[in-house]
Chain A
Amino acid sequence: MSSTESTGLRHTALDALHRSLGATMTDFAGWDMPLRYGSERDEHNAVRTKAGLFDLSHMGEITVTGPAAAAFLNFALVGNIASVGVGRARYTMICQADGGILDDLIVYRLAETEYMIVANASNAQVVLDALTERVAGFDAEVRDDRDAYALIAVQGPESPGILKSLSPKVSTSLDQGGAPIADLDGLKYYAGLPGTVAGVPALIARTGYTGEDGFELFVKPEHAVELWQALTKAGEGVGLVPCGLSCRDTLRLEAGMPLYGQELTTSLTPFDAGLGRVVKFEKEGDFVGRAALEEAAARAETNPPRVLVGLVAEGRRVPRAGYPVVAGGEVIGEVTSGAPSPTLGKPIAMAYVDAAHSAPGTAGIAVDIRGSHEPYEVVALPFYKRQK
Chain B
Amino acid sequence: MSNPQQLRYSKEHEWLSTAEDGVATVGITEFAANALGDVVYAQLPEVGSTVTAGDTCGELESTKSVSDLYSPVTGEVTEINEDVVNDPSLVNSAPFEGGWLFKVRVTEEPADLLSADEYDAHTAG
Contact = CB atoms under 8 A, between A and B. Distances in A.
A41 B41 contact: no
B40 A40 contact: no
A317 B43 contact: yes
A39 B36 CA distance: 11
Interface of A: 24, 35-36, 39-41, 246, 250, 316-318, 320, 339-340, 347, 370
Nearest to B35: A24
A246 B41 contact: no
Interface residues of B, number: 13
Nearest to A41: B38
B38 A318 contact: no
A347 B63 CA distance: 9
Contact of A340 (B34, B43, B63, B92): B63
A339 B61 CA distance: 10
Nearest to A346: B40
A40 B38 contact: yes
A340 B60 CA distance: 13
Interface in B76-125: 89, 92
16 contacts: A24-B37, A39-B37, A40-B63, A41-B38, A41-B89, A246-B64, A317-B43, A318-B41, A318-B61, A320-B65, A320-B66, A340-B38, A340-B40, A340-B41, A347-B40, A370-B66
Interface in B56-75: 61, 63-66
Interface of B: 34, 37-38, 40-41, 43, 61, 63-66, 89, 92
Nearest to A36: B37
Contacts of B65: 320
What 6 A-B pairs are tightest by C-beta distance, nearest first? A340-B40, A316-B41, A41-B38, A318-B61, A40-B63, A39-B38
Contact of B37 (A246, A316, A317, A347): A246
A316 B40 contact: yes
| Residue among B40, B41, B89, B92 having the largest count of chain A Cβ atoms under 10 Å | B40
Contact of B61 (A40, A246, A317): A317
A40 B34 CA distance: 11
| Residue among B41, B43, B64, B66 having the largest count of chain A Cβ atoms under 10 Å | B64
Contact of B40 (A35, A246, A318, A370): A318
Nearest to B38: A41
Contacts of A320: 65-66
A318 B63 CA distance: 9
A313 to B, nearest CB: 10
Given A317-B61, A318-B40, 14 more contacts: A39-B37, A40-B37, A41-B38, A41-B63, A246-B64, A316-B41, A317-B41, A317-B43, A318-B41, A318-B66, A340-B40, A340-B41, A340-B61, A340-B63
| Residue among B63, B64, B66, B92 having the largest count of chain A Cβ atoms under 10 Å | B63
Contact of B92 (A39, A250, A317): A39
A344 to B, nearest CB: 12
B66 A250 contact: no
B101 to A, nearest CB: 16
B116 to A, nearest CB: 23
Nearest to A316: B41
B63 to A, nearest CB: 5
A36 B41 CA distance: 19
Nearest to A247: B63
A272 B91 CA distance: 41
Given A40-B37, A40-B38, A246-B37, A339 B63 contact: yes
B63 A250 contact: yes
Contacts of A39: 37-38, 92
Nearest to B88: A316
Nearest to B92: A39
A316 B43 CA distance: 10
Nearest to B65: A320
B1 to A, nearest CB: 12
B33 to A, nearest CB: 11
A100 to B, nearest CB: 28
B123 to A, nearest CB: 15
B66 A246 contact: no
Nearest to A318: B61
A309 to B, nearest CB: 22
Nearest to B93: A39
Nearest to B40: A340
A41 B37 CA distance: 9
A44 to B, nearest CB: 8
Contacts of B89: 41
A35 B37 CA distance: 10
A68 B122 CA distance: 61
Contacts of A370: 66
